[in-house]
Amino acid sequence: MSKDALSNSRMFKVDIFSASQRDEEVAAMLNRHLWWHKSNQPDNFVSWISSLLYAVQYMLYCFNRSKRQFSLDQIQLLMVDTTLFPSREILFMEDVDLINIYAEFGQPPQASQSKYNGNSLGQEKTLAKLARMRSGLYLFGEYLSQGALRVEGKCKSITLEALIGRGLFSLRHDFLGSPALGPDAKENSGWAKEVVKLREVFAESGRREPVTASIFHAALGITEGFESPLRLPFVIYFLSLYPRRLDNTLRLLFEGHFTVRKLRKVATYLAPESKGKAEDIR
């Protein structure tokens, strides 16, 4: 739910991309939202992320930043099945697309010399600067929606407490060593920069390891209670956190746990045109 939806402001039910809205107004709101600018100005956007690594790192960061005022079971990861929304409606927009469209209309919000994730910008906070950042290491697969998107019946959620208890740190033990999670972590202390660091292992083949049975079962444990056909895709999703070596080990683990019938069912769910072709998801 957006800030405007929470406050029930006049902008809550206004389509920010309607013909009645000036490009400069859209750019200003987009700029404020993506730079996390705190103000009383309208903000009807909600951020979603396709990077699980980023999402989990941010959950851990929020827990620590709150000085543990929020318990582990109050911080949740919400995973939305976008295939359950009407295909004719455009509900999620990639931030990069919007940045590129509105960069020419954008102006920096006030207090432009503040910090982004602990690093002095040295430049004004503009959409043009964000475009340059997104073209490099700071591309995390962010999407935006407007207002209060109804996700009931279209999502699964899991608490940070459950993630940790079911084996999160088995998948990525280096989450524990993040400087953004230390006792002295402050607001904007660098979780995005830390995500960039955590991703480095995927580019270094020498640091990758085979997926062991214990790693595989950690992903299974995290998704315990997820109904079919969603469980298998989410197992794959959580295994994506692990810097794995590309070999037959993972395929054999999947074949040893999931029946051909389940594999076919998931293949049909993910790509209806592939019905009867279980090999499409192997």
Predicted confidence (pLDDT) per residue in 37-90, tens digit: 888 888 999 999 999 999 999 998 888 877 667 889 999 999 988 888 887 677
Asked whether residue 137 falls in the same domain as residue 238, the answer is no
Phi, psi values for residue 252, rounded to 5° = -65, -35
The count of domains in the chain is 2
Read off the pLDDT of residues 221-240 as tens digits, 9 standing for 90 and up: 999 888 776 788 889 889 99
Q: pTM for this one? A: 0.80
**Dihedral (CA of 130, 134, 135, 137) sign:** positive
Per-residue pLDDT at 184 exceeds 60: no
Enclosing H/E stretch for 146: strand 142-146
Check residue 189 and give its pLDDT.
52
Please check whether residues 47 and 84 belong to one and the same domain.
Answer: yes
Answer yes or no: are the C-beta atoms of 146 and 45 closer than 8 Å. yes
Query: Taking the chain, what is the end-to-end CA distance rounded to the nearest angstrom?
Result: 37
Give start and end residues of each alpha helix (H) in the chain.
3-7, 23-34, 52-65, 95-102, 127-134, 160-165, 168-171, 191-199, 213-222, 231-239, 249-257, 260-270
Tens digit of pLDDT for each residue in 133-174? Answer: 999 999 999 999 998 888 888 888 999 999 999 999 999 888
| 3 state DSSP class of 3 | helix
Averaged pLDDT, 120-132: 75
Torsion of CA 14, 19, 24, 30, to 10 degrees: 40
User: Average per-residue pLDDT in the chain?
Assistant: 80
Domain boundary among 202, 224, 241: 202
DSSP code of 76? E
188 and 141 inside one domain: yes
Please indicate, yes or no, whether residues 11 and 60 belong to a single structural domain of this protein.
yes
pLDDT for 135:
94
Local confidence band at 121 (pLDDT 50, 70, 90 cut-offs):
very low
User: 88 — alpha (psi -120 to 50), left (phi > 0) or beta?
Assistant: alpha
Rounded to whole angstroms, the Cα distance separating 98 from 130 reads 11
Same domain, 79 and 149: yes
Are residues 191 and 231 located together in one domain of the fold? Answer: no
Using the 3D structure, point to which of 179, 202, 225 is the last residue of a domain. Answer: 202
Domain span at residue 250?
204-281
Does residue 167 contact residue 221 with C-beta atoms inside 8 Å? yes
